[in-house]
């Protein structure tokens, strides 16, 4: 995917090849984006030749199922020695992903590549990922469909849940039943817990009042993200008013988005609309979605990122009153001549 675009960049920057690696359990998203393989390995993208992947022997069969067809077995003791031996051309300037390259790995890298220069390609990789290909768009839309369906069915079954963890279990189970993964552990934050945007659901009774449900799935590695805030048993007049204020802001900020809209401006307009409540808006307004749950564009203060066709992102304003309650309303959106909401779950304030 877009390997050619990266190669054009390497050529323009007089960089001989790009080197990305992946270790352990936590997948480096730039590595995954190019390889569609999530195991341990080193990816080499020469500026003119076909890319190849070097993996430990035990990962060889699995790696070949990814998009990089030239897979080699690690034959040296160290990855970077194997990379060195397999590079045919010059090794003078090497593109590396500094956002995933640790200092420890860099020290090892320097033992082998003593004299080369390096170019940071992390930002370029992230930028390549902003505008989605047809295949990625298909995966993301499907991912949003699944997330919506599962969240709807969760709301329909809400009467069965007694604890925050019951709601989370339901969302997880439905996700895995469909053969999907989670984008992130579901957030179920009831009552005052809702004031912590990244609260982890507990084995505790659902509190009366507002409850924030933040959920998303991965379909073929592509992430959806949706949040709804619902009432449990009974909500106060203030909670109701704040909910409707926030909903109106969320909808109007989506409707105003045009081709070329600057993300920092979208953020600022939400801050302006919130008025005094802006001080309780302690979370970003949104983020790109794709192979990673948080990727470019950034919908934060001062962000220069722009919305264009085939960009997938979230709009999720929230108000978090410490130790009282929280509200967040979030949709996943694709810009396709206009903003199109992909997470089709009601935003009417429902009290369950």
Strand 311-315 to strand 331-336: parallel, antiparallel, or no bridges (unpaired)? Answer: antiparallel
- Give the largest Cα separation in the chain, rounded: 70
Euclidean distance between CA atoms 15 and 249, whole angstroms: 46
Which of residues 10, 121, 168, 217 is near a copy of itself by CB under 8 A?
168
Q: Which is nearer to a copy of itself, 12 or 25 (CB)?
A: 25
- Contact segment (CB under 8 A) with a copy of itself among 52-60, 149-157, 247-255, 266-274 equals 52-60
Is there binding between residue 219 and a copy of itself (CB under 8 A)? Answer: no
Q: Which is nearer to a copy of itself, 107 or 114 (CB)?
A: 107
Q: Which is nearer to a copy of itself, 61 or 258 (CB)?
A: 61
Q: Token pair 């007089």 is at which residue?
A: 14
Instruction: Please report, as residue ranges, which positions from 172 to 201 form the binding site for a copy of itself (by CB under 8 A).
Output: 172-173, 176-177, 179, 181, 184-185, 195-200
- Contact segment (CB under 8 A) with a copy of itself among 55-63, 85-93, 267-275, 305-313 equals 55-63
> Per the structure block, which two tokens stand in for 304?
């220069």
Euclidean distance between CA atoms 176 and 94, whole angstroms: 40
- Contact segment (CB under 8 A) with a copy of itself among 22-30, 84-92, 245-253, 336-344 equals 22-30
> Per the structure block, which two tokens stand in for 329?
């309303």
Phi, psi of 303 (to 5 degrees): -65, 135
Euclidean distance between CA atoms 78 and 100, whole angstroms: 18
Q: Token pair 């050619």 is at which residue?
A: 4
Q: What DSSP designation does 131 have?
A: B
45 to each of 88, 94, 135, 300, 336, how far by Cα in Å? 12, 10, 21, 32, 31
Instruction: Please report, as residue ranges, which positions from 94 to 153 form the binding site for a copy of itself (by CB under 8 A).
Output: 96, 98-104, 106-107, 120, 122
Is there binding between residue 50 and a copy of itself (CB under 8 A)? Answer: no
Least separation in angstroms between CB 118 and a copy of itself:
9
Burial of residue 86 (CB within 10 Å: 0-12, 13-18, 19+) is middle
- Contact segment (CB under 8 A) with a copy of itself among 139-147, 213-221, 320-328, 334-342 equals 320-328
Q: Which is nearer to a copy of itself, 100 or 140 (CB)?
A: 100
Residues 6+ apart with CB under 8 A from 58: none
Beta bridge partners of 85: none
> Per the structure block, which two tokens stand in for 11?
């050529």
Is there binding between residue 317 and a copy of itself (CB under 8 A)? Answer: no
Q: Which is nearer to a copy of itself, 201 or 339 (CB)?
A: 201
Is there binding between residue 278 and a copy of itself (CB under 8 A)? Answer: no
Euclidean distance between CA atoms 308 and 92, whole angstroms: 36
Cα within 13 Å of Cα(241), Cβ side: 5
Least separation in angstroms between CB 50 and a copy of itself:
24
> How big is the site for a copy of itself, counted in residues (CB under 8 A)?
47
Least separation in angstroms between CB 57 and a copy of itself:
5
Least separation in angstroms between CB 342 and a copy of itself:
21
Least separation in angstroms between CB 109 and a copy of itself:
10
Q: Which is nearer to a copy of itself, 4 or 107 (CB)?
A: 107
Q: Are 45 and 34 in contact (CB under 8 A)?
A: yes
Q: Which is nearer to a copy of itself, 143 or 261 (CB)?
A: 143
47 to each of 3, 5, 8, 21, 50, how far by Cα in Å? 10, 10, 7, 17, 8
Q: Which is nearer to a copy of itself, 25 or 260 (CB)?
A: 25
Contacts with a copy of itself by CB under 8 A lie at 24-26, 39, 56-59, 61-62, 96, 98-104, 106-107, 120, 122, 165, 168-169, 172-173, 176-177, 179, 181, 184-185, 195-200, 203, 282-283, 293-294, 320, 322-323
């Amino acid at each position: 995917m877009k390997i050619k675009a990266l190669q054009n960049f390497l050529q323009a920057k007089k960089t001989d090849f790009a080197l990305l690696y992946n270790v352990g359990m936590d997948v480096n998203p730039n590595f995954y984006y190019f390889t569609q393989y999530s195991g341990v390995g080193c990816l080499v993208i020469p500026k003119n030749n076909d890319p190849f992947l070097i993996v430990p022997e035990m990962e060889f069969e699995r790696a070949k199922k990814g998009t990089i067809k030239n897979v080699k077995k690690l034959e040296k003791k160290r990855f970077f020695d194997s990379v060195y031996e397999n590079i045919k051309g010059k090794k003078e300037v090497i593109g590396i992903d500094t956002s995933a390259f640790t200092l420890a790995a860099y020290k090892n890298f320097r033992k082998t590549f003593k004299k080369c220069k390096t170019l940071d390609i992390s930002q370029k990789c992230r930028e390549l990922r902003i505008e989605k290909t047809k295949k990625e768009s298909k995966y993301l839309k499907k991912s949003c469909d699944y997330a919506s369906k599962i969240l709807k069915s969760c709301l329909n079954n809400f009467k069965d849940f007694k604890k925050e963890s019951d709601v989370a279990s339901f969302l997880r189970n439905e996700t895995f039943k469909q053969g999907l993964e989670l984008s992130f552990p579901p957030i179920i934050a009831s009552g005052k817990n809702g004031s912590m945007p990244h609260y982890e659901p507990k084995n505790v009774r659902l509190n009366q009042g507002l409850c924030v449900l933040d959920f998303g799935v991965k379909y073929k590695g592509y992430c959806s993200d949706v949040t709804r805030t619902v009432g449990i048993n009974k909500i106060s007049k203030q909670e109701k008013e704040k909910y409707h204020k926030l909903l109106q802001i969320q909808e109007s900020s989506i409707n105003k988005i045009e081709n070329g809209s600057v993300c920092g401006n979208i953020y600022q307009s939400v801050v302006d609309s919130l008025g005094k409540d802006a001080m309780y808006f302690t979370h970003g307004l949104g983020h790109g979605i794709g192979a990673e749950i948080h990727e470019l564009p950034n919908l934060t203060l001062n962000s220069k990122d722009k919305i264009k066709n085939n960009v997938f992102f979230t709009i999720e304003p929230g108000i978090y009153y410490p130790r009282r309650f929280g509200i967040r309303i979030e949709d996943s959106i694709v810009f396709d001549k206009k903003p199109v909401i992909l997470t089709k779950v009601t935003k009417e304030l429902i009290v369950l």
